[in-house]
Amino acid sequence: MGMLDGKVAFITGGSRGQGRAHAVTCAREGADVVIIDTVEQISTVQYPMATQADIDETVSQVEALDRRIVAEVGDVRKQADLDRAVARGVAELGRVDILIANAGIFSLAPAHELSEEAWDDMIAVNLTGVWKSAKAVLPHMVEQGGGSIVMTSSINGLEPGANYAHYCSAKFGVVGLMKTLALEYAGRGIRVNSVHPGAILTPMTSWQGAWDMMSGKPAGEGTEEDMLDAGYGFHALKGNGFLSPQRIADAALFLNSDLASSVTGVTLPVDAGHLLLPGINMAPVK
């Protein structure tokens, strides 16, 4: 018996990174899965977006666990794409019990150098896209008499970070959205929580700008090895450098399972003790 037997989970940004970990974990625990992801490059994002091959790999991994999966190409900035994916999931899989609003982007620039386009893209994907994802599933959850929503915020939804004001603004906004929906839909049996990843190794976090930021080196001089080493200083727990996406999938599994049946409106950091640090970890233990 899996922790999510008989349920259907809808996962945005489900083709790779944390999204794939969520999809495979839900399937392993008995759920059928609906995923949506875009394969179009957003111009203000400096690392490559997902591909059809990424989507196909997630489908393959879920099916290898003998679970059903519906995969849609679409953009969380477009309500019609989300509504289409949910409608297809309900038609083919019968229901939707879980939303993991995971889709997100990242970019870097000092606040006064951010373009309007970069700001608008970030808010549209990382905040408005979460609301639109919830909007797509809530009517079905209301009709069914319950459900669980997990929104992916960030440690930077609980603390600031230099040179990504747009990202922090979106991720702090997710907390406000989460708490409001948790209150608004509690009487309908719908639980809403947020998970707050620390430094997680995914395609979104491993590119030249992130290498430079984490290593403290001048632009273009950081390496992935530098970044990975710096992860030990970002976290407090022994042996915890950059974390696997599986750590976030495990947290969402708890929040979506009956183990958390009385948990709603909470912010759950998965940060290996980062928020305990008064500044940076000057003596990391690897």
Q: How far apart are CA 132 and CA 141, in angstroms?
A: 15
Decide if 47 is catalytic. no
Beta-bridge partners for 151: 101, 194
Which of 99, 102, 111, 125 lies closest to 45 in space, CA to CA?
Answer: 125
One-letter amino acid for residue 47 of the chain: Y
Dist. CA 133–CA 131, nearest whole Å? 5
**Exactly one of 164, 167, 185, 232 is catalytic; which is it?**
167
Helix pair angle (17-28, 52-64), 10° resolution:
20
Active site residues: 167
